[in-house]
A and B are shown apart, each in its own frame.
Chain A
Amino acid sequence: EIVLTQSPGTLSLSPGERATLSCRASQSVDNNYLAWYQQKPGQAPRLLISGASNRATGIPDRFSGSGSATDFTLTISRLEPEDFAVFYCQQYGSSALTFGGGTKVEI
């Protein structure tokens, strides 16, 4: 199974600041099949990005994804109060899908 390592574990920022989240894979992710999700307390996750850089329907353009092979990044250009949450990356390029351990973005 591909292991995804997310960093940092926690990111302390203020509204209006830029957030940069990293996701590193233990081996190359086929076809850059890498997704990002946001999860708020007590809620199910929400898909933000698929295919490393394609925003899901209804996702604001302040969220952007980039990267390839083993190194991927989620960037939130200007944090809004509702953006504070835990973010997960997930690879689906192999038969066994895997999630990263998550990055908490807190105020």
Chain B
Amino acid sequence: EVQLVESGGGLVQPGGSLRLSCAASGFTFSSSWMHWVRQAPGRGLVWVSRIKSDGSYTTYADSVKGRFTISRDNAKNTLYLQMNSLRAEDTAIYYCAGGGSGYIFNWGEGTLVTVSS
């Protein structure tokens, strides 16, 4: 069974940093593109970032470029999202997701990030 389990969410002040992790199991993590997608409470889905299976290629949404960094450790089957210079508008549930380079067929349950003073 495919499992994606996010952790690291919580309350952080504006301008602060947070690192999300996602532990993957039940599929060949090292062969899968991985993504982060977020959803503000009561709002729609927003794609954040993706990383190629070997970690050699990454892309970001304009809204997070220069502030967020996606990375992975294939030896640990773990995906990361380093989030710096956080803003109130970054408040959302962050989903770890996997699949192809574009579409996504495996999703975690999400971890809530709240940016507030």
**Contacting pair A35 B107 (CB below 8 A):** no
Contacts of A1 in B (CB 8 A): 61-62
Q: How many residues of A contact B (CB 8 A)?
A: 26
Contacts of A99 in B (CB 8 A): 37, 44-47
Which of A46, A56, A93, A99 is most buried by chain B, counting CB atoms within 10 A of its CB?
Answer: A99
Q: Mark B41-83, 1 if CB is under 8 A from A, else 0.
A: 0001111001000000001111000000000000000000000
- Whether a CB of chain B sits under 8 angstroms from the CB of A63 is no
Nearest CB of B to A99, in Å: 4
**Contacting pair A56 B60 (CB below 8 A):** no
**Contacting pair B60 A47 (CB below 8 A):** no
**Contacting pair B45 A47 (CB below 8 A):** no
* CB under 8 Å from chain B, chain A span 1-60: 1, 33, 35, 37, 39, 44-47, 50-51, 56-57
Contact A102 B45, CB 8 Å, known A44-B110, A96-B59, A96-B60: yes
**Contacting pair A102 B104 (CB below 8 A):** no
Contacts of B47 in A (CB 8 A): 90, 96-99
Q: Mark A74-95, 1 if CB is under 8 A from B, else 0.
A: 0000000000001010101101
Q: Give A37 to B109 CA distance when docked, in angstroms.
A: 15
Q: Give A99 to B103 CA distance when docked, in angstroms.
A: 11
Contacts of A37 in B (CB 8 A): 45, 104
Tell me whether chain A's interface is mostly helix, strand or loop, or mixed: loop
**Contacting pair A90 B103 (CB below 8 A):** yes
Contact A96 B62, CB 8 Å, known A44-B108, A44-B110, A56-B105: yes
Contacts of A100 in B (CB 8 A): 44
Nearest CB of A to B18, in Å: 20
Residue in B60, B61, B99, B107 whose CB lies within 8 Å of A44 = B107
Nearest CB of A to B13, in Å: 28
Contacts of A67 in B (CB 8 A): none
Closest 8 CB pairs of A and B: A92-B102, A44-B107, A35-B103, A97-B47, A50-B103, A99-B45, A47-B105, A102-B44
